[in-house]
């Protein structure tokens, strides 16, 4: 997800479109992305460590984005 304080022009455009469709009460709209990884790891804690390293190395840009790791 884009950090708060970083302008999200796509979110703004979506907010306007929702307003024009008559959906009331939409404040801020932020657009992020979901990346699904199929891992060999069987241990949840190890997988979390591995994915966190991937986020920092490539998947997220910490200058403008935050990330959350969910393991299913």
Residues forming contacts to other proteins in the complex (CB under 8 A) are 6-7, 9-10, 13, 57-59, 61, 63-64
Tell the smallest beta-carbon distance from residue 63 to other proteins (Å): 4
Residue whose pair of structure tokens reads 């591995």 in the numeric block: 50
Tell the smallest beta-carbon distance from residue 35 to other proteins (Å): 8
Residues 52, 58: contact at Cβ < 8 Å?
Answer: no
Cβ distance to other proteins smaller for residue 14 or 41: 14
Cβ distance to other proteins smaller for residue 6 or 39: 6
- Number of residues that make up the chain: 72
Query: CA-CA distance, 14 to 11, in Å (whole number)?
Result: 5
Q: Which two tokens stand for residue 64?
A: 């403008």
């Amino acid at each position: 997800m884009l950090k708060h304080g970083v302008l999200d022009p796509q979110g703004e455009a979506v907010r306007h479109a929702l307003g024009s469709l008559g959906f009331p009460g939409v404040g801020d709209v932020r657009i992020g992305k979901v990346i699904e990884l199929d891992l060999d790891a069987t241990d949840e804690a190890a997988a979390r460590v591995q994915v966190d390293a991937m986020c920092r190395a490539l998947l997220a840009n910490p200058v403008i984005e935050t990330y959350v790791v969910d393991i299913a």
